[in-house]
Amino acid sequence: MNVEIIGDRDFIYSVQEEDGVWVLFAGQAVYTLPAEPGKALPVWSSAEKAENFAQNLGQSGLSSVFVPLSNFLGSAWLGSPSLQIIDVLASPKYGQESLTYTVDELCAKLKT
């Protein structure tokens, strides 16, 4: 079985099991990465994974915040035009390529 398929299944299962995701905030702003034509949002299935990523960045002031799945899939997050999120990075690890979903792909997988 393909490693990416296993990673996909594990990530989706973990997020559904926790009923939410962890994101990083820098002060009042959500931590995102540039992606054409919008932004990529890294998310994790646990606070520990998010905090490990933040520590490896060496950027002070990042904190992990839990976002319930119902909010994450709604207009406040993935559906928000002001956030301009086009991709979601699944539990990225510093210095490694991560599994990436478009917003539509991730929403479809998490709603099933």
pLDDT tens-digit profile of 100-110? 999 999 999 99
Nearest to 10 by CA among 71, 89, 91: 91
Task: Report the domain count for the chain.
Answer: 1
Confidence at residue 58, expressed as pLDDT on a 0 to 100 scale: 83
Residue 25 structural domain: 3-110
Mean pLDDT of the chain: 90
pLDDT tens-digit profile of 1-37? 344 555 788 999 999 999 999 999 999 999 999 998 9
Residue spans of beta strands (DSSP E) within the chain: 20-26, 29-30, 33-35, 38-43, 62-68, 85-90, 99-102
Confidence at residue 5, expressed as pLDDT on a 0 to 100 scale: 56
Distance of alpha carbon 106 from alpha carbon 110, whole angstroms: 6
Residue 96 pLDDT level (bands cut at 50, 70, 90): confident
57 alpha carbon, distance to own chain's centre: 16
Residues, the chain = 112
Which CATH number fits the domain that encloses residue 99?
Answer: 3.40.1350.90
Confidence at residue 21, expressed as pLDDT on a 0 to 100 scale: 97
Residue 12 dihedral angles phi and psi, to the nearest 5°: -60, -45
Q: pTM for the full model?
A: 0.89
Confidence at residue 89, expressed as pLDDT on a 0 to 100 scale: 96
Confidence at residue 7, expressed as pLDDT on a 0 to 100 scale: 75
Distance of alpha carbon 31 from alpha carbon 90, whole angstroms: 14
The average pLDDT across 52-69 equals 92
